[in-house]
Amino acid sequence: MQYYNSIVDTIGNTPLVKLNKVTEGIRGTVLVKVEYFNPGNSVKDRIAIKMIEDAEKAGILKPGGTIIEGTSGNTGMGLALAAVSKGYKCIFTMADKQSQEKIDILRAVGAEVYVCPTNVAPEDPRSYYSVARKLNEEIPNSFYPNQYDNLSNRAAHYESTGPEIWEQTDGKITHFAAGVGTGGTISGTSKYLKERNPKMVTVGIDTYGSVFKKYKETGIFDENEIYPYLTEGIGEDILPKNVDFEMVDQFIKVTDKDAAIMTRRLAREEGLFVGWSCGSAAFGALEYAREHLKEDDVMVIILPDHGTRYLKKIYNDTWMRDHGFLEARDFATAQDIIRRKKSQGSRLITVKPEASVGEVIKLIHDEGISQAPIMDSQGHIVGSLTDSKVLRRIIENPELRQVTIQEIMDPPFTFVALNNTIDVLSSLINKDNKALLVRDENNQVHIITQADILMTMAA
């Protein structure tokens, strides 16, 4: 009889599949390693079992214990399957931008899930990092794997993913590409492959709103690079210990929209029903391949997870249309808006946090503006204001004219990438976010309002 003793024994040995349609114009061979063939439908199954078994060997995780982890969903699924097999309890913290499908799947396998706000700093006590750490401190006999800094993550890929790719390509791989989140997949796999072929090129895929690309190129952790984005499971606002920048030769950034459209193309044109970050990895890797791949080169791209986790998002036409992702129309971009505003002599008007509400009201009147970012003396955007909200608060309490604006300010406006098109920009402006901010090529901040978008569309 042929069978496995438990579901975790089926992890690994996922297939390589050749891309045929989306690679038009590319020389060489482009293969994808389809990680949804793992039992938990993602690449994270590999690190989940490795982190648990290493913790058991070290005596950190004991029988009857509770596994507590901050996850975007996939690592949680891998840990949950291993926990079911080994008899552990699971508690997971997740950011509220993650799909409902991911939350439902984790609960289906017996896990307890805490949903935390996305748009807070990592050290904020409300972040999913902080909540996981706090639960670990409070719950006896609990284990916090911390996939970001637990080097068992990287080791799992060095021991499994790298050797599999080397064997499956008969050592002919010349280029390796993967999205970078915790960094374990790309760092561990790349280390193994580069030891076999020091000339191999590793391409890391990042997203706009993440710090990796600039840190690799400059060694600077720039908080100005950090702003909210939609793609799940890729990019970070921290530097996980599992990211070995020496193992990544080049980073390429991919927008939410390009990633979403490529994900749907992989399903329709290649029969690969994969997740959103798979579209990021494929789009970025193929952009690199068009310029650099030669006839005899072999590129392998990691496709991390399955499309079932995104049925209500990128595989939902209404959601795609609402976010301006569905139609591939020739829209103007944020950069076009900024150029038009510069040509008209427009300048960014900011408010100091220590300015009084009365002073701000006068500024709004004198400058004829409806909203403004609040910038501290170090040039950091720390908040925002809109005339309607300020007016409403003063009507409710006239004494507020004497307090500083930082006491009543709203959260900062959302930062967006220069190449985001106006259909995407318009979907991000709403009653809770009245304007957008963008940095130009010279790192100068500009504001984009609904009026700016309308003027661009009318031009």
DSSP letters spanning 332-364 = -BHHHHHHHHHHTT-----B-TTSBHHHHHHHH
Predicted local confidence at residue 1, as pLDDT: 94
Give residues with Cβ within 8 angstroms of 6, minimum separation 6.
85
Predicted local confidence at residue 96, as pLDDT: 85
How far is the C-alpha of 114 from the C-alpha of 139, rounded, in Å?
15
- Tell me which H or E stretch contains 164: helix 162-168
- In three-state secondary structure terms, 68 is strand
Predicted local confidence at residue 370, as pLDDT: 85
Spatial contact of 185 and 119, defined as CB atoms under 8 Å apart: no
Nearest CA to 328 out of 262, 384, 373 is that of 262
Predicted local confidence at residue 9, as pLDDT: 94
Tens of pLDDT, residue by residue, the chain (459 residues): 999 999 999 999 999 999 999 998 899 999 999 999 999 999 999 999 999 999 999 999 999 999 999 887 889 999 999 999 999 999 999 988 787 888 888 999 999 999 998 878 888 898 988 999 999 999 999 999 999 999 999 999 999 999 999 999 999 999 999 999 999 999 999 999 999 999 999 999 999 999 999 999 999 998 888 888 889 889 998 999 999 999 999 999 999 999 999 999 999 999 999 999 999 999 999 999 998 999 999 999 999 999 998 998 999 988 898 888 875 456 688 888 988 888 888 888 999 999 888 888 888 888 888 888 999 888 888 888 888 888 888 888 888 788 888 888 888 888 887 878 887 788 788 777 789 998 887 888 899 988 888 888 776
Predicted local confidence at residue 328, as pLDDT: 47
Predicted local confidence at residue 387, as pLDDT: 84
Spatial contact of 412 and 436, defined as CB atoms under 8 Å apart: no
What phi and psi values does residue 382 have, to the nearest 5 degrees? -115, -10
DSSP 74-104: HHHHHHHHHHHHHT-EEEEEEETTS-HHHHH
Determine which one of 18, 33, 44, 431 is catalytic.
44
Predicted local confidence at residue 327, as pLDDT: 59
Predicted local confidence at residue 107, as pLDDT: 92
Question: Is residue 44 flagged as an active site residue?
Answer: yes
pTM above 0.95, yes or no: no
- Tokens 């982190």 correspond to what residue? 51
What the chain holds in terms of domains, given with CATH numbers, is 7-42+151-322 (3.40.50.1100), 45-143 (3.40.50.1100), 334-458 (3.10.580.10)
How far is the C-alpha of 209 from the C-alpha of 438, rounded, in Å?
11
Helices (H), 4-151: 44-57, 74-86, 100-108, 128-138
Nearest CA to 131 out of 64, 71, 210 is that of 71
